[in-house]
Amino acid sequence: LAFRTDSENVKVVTEWQTVGGAWQAAQNMISIEGSGGSALPRGWRQIRALDVECECGPGTPEELLSHLTSINIMLLKAKEPGTWIEMPFELAKPVNGEVFAEVLNYKDRGIVRFYLDGEQIGEDYDHYAPAVAAERVPLGQHELAAGKHRLRFEIVGKRAESERMYGGLIGVTIRPQGAPEAAARPVFELHPSELMAASGGGVV
């Protein structure tokens, strides 16, 4: 509140933000990408990092890992390149399909490299985003045998504008061959105000 010294008028300024939204200046609105619903398409399989016993290094889980259940991620608090988290997952039967890493991007995230069962897969992924955004990162087509597997999520660097080089891992998702594609995530619009033309005369 800013009180005018020469009148009874008061200037009111309101500041607000929407987590996960992006400001669209031309439309005077915030666009927010929805999650597309919590249910996966039929036949898909997802394993959450919060549901398994993850390993990390160099360092201890107490130093490097935070279980952020409110936003569904295992947070890797990397302070230097080469810091990693490895999540195990087990398959009851062989699967031939597309593998994805589920991550939560933000402005304190680093550059990430993925490994599946010890082998590097895909290109280095820029985990940075100016606002919170869940992302499904494609890791290619793989034939996975029944039994135990491991996904390694390693920080290899950071962008200059990033506050830190943290990592936010949600988990692993597998789309077997023949399973339907995931539906596009809906985009919602939040309009803080409608632009209006005003005119007046005398005392308003």
pLDDT of residue 18: 63
* φ/ψ bin of 59: left (φ > 0), alpha (ψ from -120 to 50), beta (otherwise): left
* Residue 148 predicted with pLDDT over 60: yes
The secondary element (H helix, E strand) that includes residue 169 is: strand 167-176
Q: pLDDT higher for 134 or 37?
A: 134
129, 163 contact by CB (below 8 A): no
* Residue 38 predicted with pLDDT over 60: no
Residues 173, 144: Cα–Cα separation, whole Å: 13
pLDDT tens figures, 45-54: 999 999 999 9
151, 114 contact by CB (below 8 A): yes
- For tokens 């993850």, the residue is 54
pLDDT tens figures, 119-147: 999 889 999 988 788 889 999 999 999 99
Residues 83, 4: Cα–Cα separation, whole Å: 54
167, 76 contact by CB (below 8 A): yes
pLDDT of residue 20: 65
The SS3 assignment for 73 reads: strand
Question: What b/e readout covers 114-131, taking b as 16+ CB neighbours within 10 angstroms?
Answer: bbbeeeebbeebebbbeb
pLDDT tens figures, 96-106: 999 999 999 99
Residues 98, 159: Cα–Cα separation, whole Å: 28
**Residue type at 78 in one-letter notation:** A
pLDDT of residue 199: 79
pLDDT tens figures, 53-73: 999 999 999 999 999 998 889
